[in-house]
Structure 1
């Protein structure tokens, strides 16, 4: 089947929106279940700036783009299609959905798997977005080893800043917490920071200091420069699901306070019938390996849901045939 611009778009068992680890893993599970699957990918993975994927067994340090290319090859082996494009709309039709792309093409789906990831709302400090994923970091498990024993700064941008500083202390004994425009730590937090030798610096961080092609420190509003090798931030994360709001798919505040996510059950089923979600759109803190696992769970759940529907239809047809045979013998 091919995507079409006609009034009768091709219909797949499942359309997966988002071709990252979660979406491709879901497509792999569904393809191996002999489902017709289309993955639509806008080509904007969250981890694109990173040099490698970490804490992913057998794929440690692999370039993110190479991982996704290998994933696309895997899903194609089982008949799933991968389409580069951006989804602009989604609407319910009959017992399924119509998905519209920005270029005007449309495709039908019996079920949807939303794996669109999230958007990081970074602090408004010059240089942070440009260095994001390189030496401006967020996850110590993803990046801590690469900056071990180096001077690390933590820019307070949410209530978890003190906790984040304590986490990075595991990788370096030279950690500084910059309060920026955040309130001071509580007495309990301050005591813990002091006990671990973490300096706390008040005042606004005005910009990053770059020497050559690496972070050299941060410049305070006072003009003082504090030398650093890496700067950790905890951005507010927002699920990329705006185009599905017409279906009733909404984001809500994550219990952790980290941002906005889509609520779903353990296998990714949302409150919208026929729509599943996997990866960072549902779990803001998911790493690549856990996003992939969530995609597999969602794919299996979608297949089971389709089997239940097909069995129901088969039973209805079976009963009709049986009644017809019985009537013919009278």
Structure 2
């Protein structure tokens, strides 16, 4: 692949991108997947909650997906997209290494970046025993001593979900507000620990607790930390696509309609770049749906072009 043209270029090679590419390739579309090789779930040992693939490693899942796309004639390459220009039927995707494939349609599935509080130790243990999602990681930390680093309504929401998985749950509110339902917390035995958090305590290869700025250390086996989620989409600015706040308040995303279309004709998005809370299964499903919608759009465009050519031939002198 150098500067070739494709029916569909997929930017991002995770679950959403590969499933979208699979749908398009199975419809006999020329497809290119460009993947930067920095998946959000790289620190995790396994993917969970995914039907028939629960426990598979993220790397194995991607390799299986790539093989399936290639089996239908699609191309998958490693590269970093720096800029996208053009319009419907004639997009140019510029890569950092100088390659510039063209595309009739684009599917953006570049995922997101988790921005964590500036607290030592969190990033080092992220995806292992510093986690964000009880559905992704809860079973692995069941019956452990769980800490939740959050304030206000988010802290209450997280506490109830993690309390389902074990009896020892505490909330570290930092400098934020405590949850406003003290009776429910008391009934469930969930403690609230105020005060600024100084660091996550780490011994060897595991989290051991949370240290407050006053020196107090609270022993914990795992820490749940809601991240601020920001879609990876800076390369879309030349198309007029920019991040906007997600309605949930959890971060910034690229909005789409129910078919996955963005506001720019010819550009679709799927997975965490638009749905910040999508797990792997949901992202894959959204990618498949977007891939089918892109193919349907191309089918209509191809039919319209055939009609125009047919009319031109019919109108031409014998």
Give the deviation of 1:197 after TM superposition: 1.2
Tell me, in whole angstroms, the C-alpha distance in 2 between the residues paired with 1:181 and 1:262: 31
Tell me, in whole angstroms, the C-alpha distance in 2 between the residues paired with 1:203 and 1:94: 53
Distance change in 2, residues 1:18/1:271 (3 Å): same
CA contact (8 A) 2:88 2:266 kept: no
Give the deviation of 1:212 after TM superposition: 2.0
Matched, 1:211 2:216: no
Give the deviation of 1:94 after TM superposition: 6.9
Correspondences of 1:1-330 after superposition (within 5 Å): 2-3=1-2, 9-92=3-86, 95-156=89-150, 159-186=153-180, 189-324=181-316, 327-328=317-318
Tell me, in whole angstroms, the C-alpha distance in 2 between the residues paired with 1:36 and 1:158: 49
What's the secondary structure of 2:123's corresponding residue? helix
Extract unaligned runs of 5+ from structure 2: none
* C-alpha distance after superposition, 1:4-37 (max 9, x if no partner): xxxxx31100100000000000000011000000
* C-alpha distance after superposition, 1:254-275 (max 9, x if no partner): 1111111111011210101100
Give the deviation of 1:196 after TM superposition: 1.5
TM-score normalised by structure 1 residue count: 0.94
Q: Structure 1 stretch 212-221 or stretch 270-279: which is displaced more?
A: 212-221
What's the secondary structure of 1:12's corresponding residue? strand
TM-score normalised by structure 2 residue count: 0.98
Give the deviation of 1:224 after TM superposition: 1.0
Extract unaligned runs of 5+ from structure 1: 4-8
Tell me, in whole angstroms, the C-alpha distance in 1 between the residues paired with 2:190 and 2:221: 16
Aligned residues: 318
CA contact (8 A) 2:87 2:266 kept: no
What's the secondary structure of 1:73's corresponding residue? helix
Tell me, in whole angstroms, the C-alpha distance in 2 between the residues paired with 1:289 and 1:18: 16
What's the secondary structure of 2:33's corresponding residue? strand
What's the secondary structure of 1:194's corresponding residue? helix
What's the secondary structure of 2:85's corresponding residue? strand
Tell me, in whole angstroms, the C-alpha distance in 2 between the residues paired with 1:261 and 1:95: 25
Q: Could you tell me which residue of structure 2 aligns to residue 6 of structure 1?
A: none
RMSD between superposed Cα atoms in Å: 1.2
Give the deviation of 1:184 after TM superposition: 2.3
Tell me, in whole angstroms, the C-alpha distance in 2 between the residues paired with 1:246 and 1:50: 34
What's the secondary structure of 2:124's corresponding residue? helix
CA contact (8 A) 2:146 2:221 kept: yes
CA contact (8 A) 1:123 1:157 kept: no
